[in-house]
């Protein structure tokens, strides 16, 4: 499994289209809807990855009954297809993370450009007037 983002890099929220969520979960049981919502949140918090170890995944999902495990497995199969590396992915969340990362890079570049001319270099030595004052105050 790829390393998750550092805690300081972690994004605490993602966009949720309420109408889209209701439409894509239509016909699912309440258990399946809860599993889907929890899997999306875990996926996002772990840097758009899910644990590859099923026991760890089920523990993180609080899946302790056979019914919960079955619901999670069914939701994974329907909403989290495997990528080329055999990891579960979620296309909408992956697109959203890419947008957030691209926006962050663009904002950083704009900020760097804006501050580029405003950076001052601290003097390597104190101005002569300050040195003269320091010498004068040594007589006190």
Residue-by-residue DSSP string for 95-108: HHHHHHHHHHHHHH
- CB–CB of 62/68 below 8 Å? yes
> Whole-angstrom Cα distance, residue 49 to residue 2?
7
In the chain, % helix, strand, coil (3-state, to 5) comes to 60, 0, 40
| 136 pLDDT more than 80 | no
Of 45, 32, 46, nearest to 76 (Cα)? 32
Model pLDDT for residues 38-76, shown as the tens digit of each residue? 999 999 888 889 999 999 999 999 999 999 999 999 999
Model pLDDT for residues 73-94, shown as the tens digit of each residue? 999 999 999 999 999 989 888 8
**The token pair that represents 12 in the structure block:** 């605490």
> Whole-angstrom Cα distance, residue 137 to residue 140?
6
| 140 pLDDT more than 50 | no
Q: What are phi and psi of 80, to 5 degrees?
A: -125, 75
- CB–CB of 72/39 below 8 Å? yes
pTM reported for the whole predicted model: 0.67
């Amino acid at each position: 499994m790829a390393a998750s983002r550092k805690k300081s890099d972690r994004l605490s929220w993602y966009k949720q289209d309420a109408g889209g969520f209701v439409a894509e979960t239509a016909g699912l049981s309440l258990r399946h809807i809860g599993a889907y919502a929890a899997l999306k949140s875990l996926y996002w918090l772990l840097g758009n990855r899910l644990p590859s170890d099923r026991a760890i995944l089920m523990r993180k999902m609080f899946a302790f009954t056979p019914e919960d495990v079955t619901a999670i497995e069914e939701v994974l199969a329907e909403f989290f297809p495997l990528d080329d590396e055999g990891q579960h992915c979620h296309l909408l969340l992956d697109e959203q993370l890419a947008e957030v990362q691209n926006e962050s890079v663009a904002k950083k570049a704009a900020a760097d450009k804006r501050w580029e001319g405003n950076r001052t270099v601290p003097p390597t030595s104190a101005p002569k007037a300050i040195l003269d004052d320091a010498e004068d105050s040594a007589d006190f």
